[in-house]
Structure 1
Amino acid sequence: MIALTKKIKRILTTTHIFMISGVLVNGGNYVYNLLLGRFLGPEKFADAAVLITFLLVLSFVAMTFQLVTAKFSVVFETSVFKAFAANMYKKSISTGIILGLLIVVFATELQTFFKTSSSSMFVAFGFGIPLYFIMSVNRGIFQGKQQLVSLSVTYQAEMISRLLITLTLLYFLNIESSLIISLGILASFLFGLMPFKFKHISLKKVNVLNATQSKLVRNFFIITAFYELTQIIINNSDILLVKHYFESYDAGLYASLALIGRVVYFIAWMFVMLLLPTVVQLQKEGKETVSVLLKYVGYIAIIAATIIFACVLFPEQIVHVLFGESYLEIAPLLWKYALATGIFAISNIFAYYYLSLDKYIPVVLSGIFGMLQIVLVVFFHESLAQVVHVQSIAMVLLLVVQLSFFFFENKFRSLRS
């Protein structure tokens, strides 16, 4: 038995544990969304989709703090890192409070714009935002220090608590479902703080970074924030715009379509978590990094192709199993949406790779095509099919320019050497 345990430990590295955990987290979040869709029906699920989209938007904003913390956990030595981590916690708390207050204050306006049944769901959500930002800095430390077991635990705690608490409250409480979902999200932020590194938080003045270090952090923070903004636009603007332009029933159908079609993006997230610290460390050691990029691009391309192929062959069966007969109208669009998402996931790997190397042109390109996607949806939304088609156009163009930059940059590098 002891020999078997030792053999398992040798085979299962922390990277393997994180990958397995990532599959479970994404699977759990997927089950959470599927159960809400089945339990609530298309119209009420449209309100739930707004909250889930707000959660995704929040995760991308907070990801700026996580990625900056992760990168400089590798770059800075211990004494400098302690000062840096304390400052990141302070900035994350203040940012979370400001954003949370904005959502609480404008809850009524948000209800009107998104045509939701309640404004209280936005109020409850706003109160949880500071917790999420603290959680993200904590995760950034685990990610950068390659403490992947602790990183896995915090993601698992958030997912499991949100799933169980939300379903329990929906079963026992006879109140507005959107408020219950918001309370479940708020509670999950508390559980997501575990395990927490209290030693990195200090409210008193700590040793400041020198001018060069501060400039490095500031520049990377700004460009990362910009890139995460492009992620918000590309990943979530379509759902929010559809909720604004279409009736609740159609918006609920589209939300289910988006959820199924984005499987490949959720899977790609695991590789992004591993890519950034790996590339930063290799660059620090003066080693080549292109092979790591190509390996992850290959993984995502294979996964995307498999999912798209399944959506082409079995669209109605997939929709029926996951959401039920009420959502079968979106079956013909499933493979098209999956294609657009798969293309974006591959483009995303290139952008994060160059972000790790402090090369920012791919980030700007993502921003340009993210805005293009919004413009196309604003002008072309006669039907859900048209919304999907214009997104596919934007994502194909994005991948073409990202690949062009990659080949041009590598050719230029080879000529210099």
Structure 2
Amino acid sequence: MQTISISKLKKISPEQLFMLSVLAVNGGNYLYNLILGRLLGPSEFADAAVLITFLLVLSFAAMTFQLVTAKFSVIFENNVLRNFISKVYKNALIVGIALGVLIIVLAKQLQLLFNTSSSNMFIIFGIGVPLYFMMSVNRGVFQGKKQFKALSITYQGEMLSRLVITLGLIFMFNIQSSVVIAIGILISFVFGLVPFKTKHISFKKTFIDSSKSKQVRNFFILTAFYELTQIIINNSDILLVKHYFDSYNAGLYASLALIGRIVYFVAWMFVMLLLPTVVQLNKEGKETAPVLFKYVGYIAGIASAIVIVCAIFPETAITLLFGDSYLAMAPLLWKYALATGMFAVSNIFAYYYLSLGKYLPVIISGVFGMLQMLLVIFFHDNLEQVVFMQIIAMALLLIIQIGCFIFDYNISKPKKA
């Protein structure tokens, strides 16, 4: 029996191990949020949700550096690669320090804008921002080189340390404060840096020839624009609800968003595998569409299953995950999951074209990200209307992304003689 178990483990590919790791990380992050929701209750959880949303915004901003590093770690080699990675680390550190200082300086204004109980939570969060950018470049190297074991360790370390430290501080000192949550997030960034290869960092002047620099710059701008649309689509609703509604309703909505976004977080593991695979196939002149079809099929199937479960068992899902205090959101659960599911599928198309360096799908996502935000700004009489506006925007986005792919695929495929 032991021999059979060992042989089975040997058959598991690094990609499959990484997928299992991402599922575990997402599960741990969900557990972290669910425990906070139960411990704090709707009103106090609204403050925690703002910090969690800031963390998601930071992850999308830093993802620009991670994806750029991942793509060109596949394309560049030897000295060019070393110089490139060193330069990305420098730029990431500069951007991280600038953003961190900005958050610290604007802490009081952020407190007023989002109706939070403390400004200190933003100050503590700002201190950790440079660390997160360094962590993302480190992950980009692992992702591009398909070193999925090391990549898994960084994600596991960040998740486990945040879960253990935050809950440990809450239970040991009986402090249910957003400041404690911010401290847990800050310390988790340190653990997320492990394993960290210091040999990639050099403060000497690095040189990359102009053609390669232009290639990197163009992809960086394109990726940064797309990650901005991700920030808008994924997080603007929670921040706008926190601004327009009272703390109780904002806390209820935060629980709804957390449950409904399960499919999106699952989709991330496919995005992490998609980008280096598509870049490598394209580099070798091979067909890339089958990879897209495979991952779209996975996400569409998962999304459909989650929407169906949320539609049939909404009260059960909310009671099990958050408790009876959040049951008012049960009728909206499947609707929010539907909006998120459509976005997750359209996201796969966008990242596929991003991997190929194509612009139009990324611009389309930006347009509909702004549309979603504007719809919520103008139509927010109640939480149901907020969710309905997102369904409209995401349905249109998915239809147009599929239409663009069909058109592009028919144009680019070789014609039979």
**What TM-score do the two structures reach when normalised by structure 1?**
0.98
Summarize deviations over 1:202-247 as a string: whole Å, max 9, x none. 11222x1111100000000000000000000000000000000000
Match of 1:70 in 2: 70
- Distance in 1 of aligned mates of 2:90 and 2:70: 16
- Distance in 1 of aligned mates of 2:107 and 2:303: 37
Match of 2:360 in 1: 361
For residues 15-414 of structure 1, the aligned pairs below 5 Å read: 15-175=15-175, 177-206=177-206, 208-414=207-413
Report the AA paired with residue 197 of structure 1: K
Residue 6 of structure 1 and its aligned partner are, at CA, apart by 4.9
Report the AA paired with residue 43 of structure 2: E
Summarize deviations over 1:53-107 as a string: whole Å, max 9, x none. 0000000000000000000000001211000000000001010000000000000
- What secondary structure does 1:358 align onto? coil
- Distance in 1 of aligned mates of 2:17 and 2:35: 27
- Distance in 1 of aligned mates of 2:143 and 2:11: 21
- Distance in 1 of aligned mates of 2:78 and 2:95: 25
Indicate if the aligned counterparts of 2:63 and 2:227 stay in contact, CA closer than 8 A: yes
Report the AA paired with residue 342 of structure 1: G
- Distance in 1 of aligned mates of 2:272 and 2:234: 17
Report the AA paired with residue 148 of structure 1: F
Indicate if the aligned counterparts of 2:361 and 2:401 stay in contact, CA closer than 8 A: yes
- Distance in 2 of aligned mates of 1:82 and 1:2: 43
- What secondary structure does 1:86 align onto? helix
- What secondary structure does 1:157 align onto? helix
- What secondary structure does 2:116 align onto? coil
Summarize deviations over 1:365-387 as a string: whole Å, max 9, x none. 00000000010000000000000
Residue 281 of structure 1 and its aligned partner are, at CA, apart by 0.2
Residue 271 of structure 1 and its aligned partner are, at CA, apart by 0.1
- Distance in 1 of aligned mates of 2:226 and 2:293: 21
Aligned residues: 416
- What secondary structure does 2:264 align onto? helix
Range 7-16 or range 237-246, more displaced: 7-16
Report the AA paired with residue 408 of structure 2: E
Report the AA paired with residue 396 of structure 2: L
- Distance in 1 of aligned mates of 2:6 and 2:316: 43
- Distance in 2 of aligned mates of 1:221 and 1:416: 34
Gap regions ≥5 residues in structure 2: none
Report the AA paired with residue 272 of structure 2: M
- Distance in 1 of aligned mates of 2:124 and 2:398: 38
Report the AA paired with residue 73 of structure 2: S
Report the AA paired with residue 56 of structure 1: L
Report the AA paired with residue 407 of structure 1: I
Indicate if the aligned counterparts of 2:170 and 2:176 stay in contact, CA closer than 8 A: no
Indicate if the aligned counterparts of 2:107 and 2:123 stay in contact, CA closer than 8 A: yes
Range 167-176 or range 316-325, more displaced: 167-176
Indicate if the aligned counterparts of 2:40 and 2:176 stay in contact, CA closer than 8 A: no
> What is the alpha-carbon root mean square deviation over aligned residues?
1.1
C-alpha change, 1:2 and 1:249, in structure 2 (3 Å) is: closer
Residue 2 of structure 1 and its aligned partner are, at CA, apart by 7.5
- Distance in 1 of aligned mates of 2:174 and 2:122: 19
Summarize deviations over 1:299-335 as a string: whole Å, max 9, x none. 0000000000001100000000000000000000000
Residue 10 of structure 1 and its aligned partner are, at CA, apart by 2.8
- Distance in 2 of aligned mates of 1:82 and 1:395: 40
Summarize deviations over 1:116-136 as a string: whole Å, max 9, x none. 000000000000000000000
- Distance in 2 of aligned mates of 1:282 and 1:378: 42
- What secondary structure does 2:381 align onto? coil
Range 135-144 or range 164-173, more displaced: 164-173
- Distance in 2 of aligned mates of 1:230 and 1:246: 24
**What TM-score do the two structures reach when normalised by structure 2?**
0.98
